[in-house]
Amino acid sequence: MSVSRGRDVHFDVSGRLIAAQEWGDSNGLPVLALHGWLDNSASFVPLAGELKNAHLIALDMAGHGQSSHKAAGLVYNIWEDISDIFAVADQLGWDSFHLLGHSRGAIISALAAGTMPERVKAVFMVDAIVPQPLAPEKAPQQLAKSIREISNKQQASPRVFDSIEKGIEARKKGFHKMTEAASRLVVERGVKPVPGGYSWSSDARLMAASSFKLSEEQIKAFINAIAAPVELFIADSGLPGMLDKQRHVLDWFADLNLHELEGGHFLHMENQVETIAEVINSYMLSNA
């Protein structure tokens, strides 16, 4: 498995910096990669080295990695990332492109493909399908929770590690366990120097509740609108119970292939890199 960091590229989206890494050249098929919650573009480094015929741009989503944080008081709702995706694609001159997403990035990919189906040629989703729905009558409580949590997160003191190695060790033992190699990739791009050591570069408000959540009917409308083929990779030891809870959602996709694979939530960085790359490469080569 080849592991090589990409070329740093940057985009200006409405006055905010969106940082990214790039692999391949303009002759390859255009692919935008969207990482998971509190990760960054480095989560695609292992997979990037295995992809063929792809011009891959992996973003640091808003508030993550080396990208700008939002202005004070604002929330990180997943649908707001969709406008960033198409803004970056516009700057790249991509009228149509492919989406590759992991976890939160997979969910955003699905919603984006339903938002502008004429622009998305294929979607590759790793260990997530759709957001958890919220009944409309619970919207007031959701908004109140978001307001309280945003205020609390903005006032909280950041966690400081006296070395990057301490951060790598902490990330390895997080809610979703990671190998040391995977943790190192994500952490080295996801910390910043501060007095006393290093702190996470991601915005603490990412841990606050969304201001609103989509209902099941709204989510279904997005999925029904997808015109692109979808390849879905699900880890047998990934998000607990996710596939059991959302298996009925698979019927909403017009063209979906499900790949149930052995491994944890970060299977695209760890034991299933070659398997996922083989599926993507097969598509890329047949659509060159």
How many Å apart are CA 160 and CA 197, to the nearest integer? 6
| 87 occurs within a structural domain | yes
Quickly count: other Cβ atoms within 10 Å of residue 102's Cβ.
29
| pLDDT band with cut points at 50, 70 and 90 for residue 198 | very high
Residue 44: predicted pLDDT = 98
| pLDDT greater than 80 at residue 239 | yes
Residue 286: predicted pLDDT = 84
Q: What is the mean pLDDT of residues 144-166?
A: 93
| 275 occurs within a structural domain | yes
| 279 occurs within a structural domain | yes
- Residue 124's nearest CA partner among 56, 204, 180 is 56
| Those residues with Cβ within 8 angstroms of residue 222's Cβ, 6 or more apart along the chain or in another chain | 110, 111, 114, 115, 130, 214
Q: Return the minimum-mean-pLDDT range out of 167-171, 215-219, 263-267, 282-286.
A: 282-286
| pLDDT greater than 70 at residue 1 | no
Number of domains present in the structure of the chain: 1
Residue 175: predicted pLDDT = 81
Of the candidates 43, 67, 103, 183, the residue annotated as catalytic is 103
| pLDDT greater than 60 at residue 240 | yes
Q: Which residue has the higher pLDDT, 146 or 72?
A: 146
Backbone angles phi, psi at 48, to 5 degrees: -60, -35
How many Å apart are CA 236 and CA 169, to the nearest integer? 24
Q: What is the mean pLDDT of residues 221-228?
A: 98
| 114 occurs within a structural domain | yes
| pLDDT band with cut points at 50, 70 and 90 for residue 285 | confident
Backbone angles phi, psi at 120, to 5 degrees: -105, 120
| Those residues with Cβ within 8 angstroms of residue 189's Cβ, 6 or more apart along the chain or in another chain | 40, 41, 42, 60, 65, 66
| Those residues with Cβ within 8 angstroms of residue 240's Cβ, 6 or more apart along the chain or in another chain | none
pTM score, whole prediction:
0.96
| 208 occurs within a structural domain | no
Q: What is the mean pLDDT of residues 29-49?
A: 97
3 state SS of 24? coil
Residue 103 annotated among the catalytic residues of the structure: yes
| 271 occurs within a structural domain | yes
What DSSP assignment string belongs to 101-143? EETHHHHHHHHHHHHSGGGEEEEEEES--SPPP--GGGHHHHH
What DSSP assignment string belongs to 187-205? HHHSEEEETTEEEE-S-GG
CATH number of the domain within which 47 lies: 3.40.50.1820
Domain that holds residue 127: 7-134+215-286
What is the percent of the chain with per-residue pLDDT over 90, rounded to a whole number? 89
Q: Which residue has the higher pLDDT, 285 or 201?
A: 201
Query: How do residues 102-150 score in pLDDT, each as one tens digit?
Result: 999 999 999 999 999 999 999 999 999 999 999 999 999 999 999 999 9
Q: Which residue has the higher pLDDT, 155 or 62?
A: 62
| Those residues with Cβ within 8 angstroms of residue 261's Cβ, 6 or more apart along the chain or in another chain | 233, 234, 235, 236, 267, 272, 275, 276
| pLDDT band with cut points at 50, 70 and 90 for residue 199 | very high
| 79 occurs within a structural domain | yes
| pLDDT band with cut points at 50, 70 and 90 for residue 176 | confident
Q: What is the mean pLDDT of residues 58-65?
A: 98
Residue 96: predicted pLDDT = 97
Q: What's the mean pLDDT when you consider all of the chain?
A: 95
| 280 occurs within a structural domain | yes
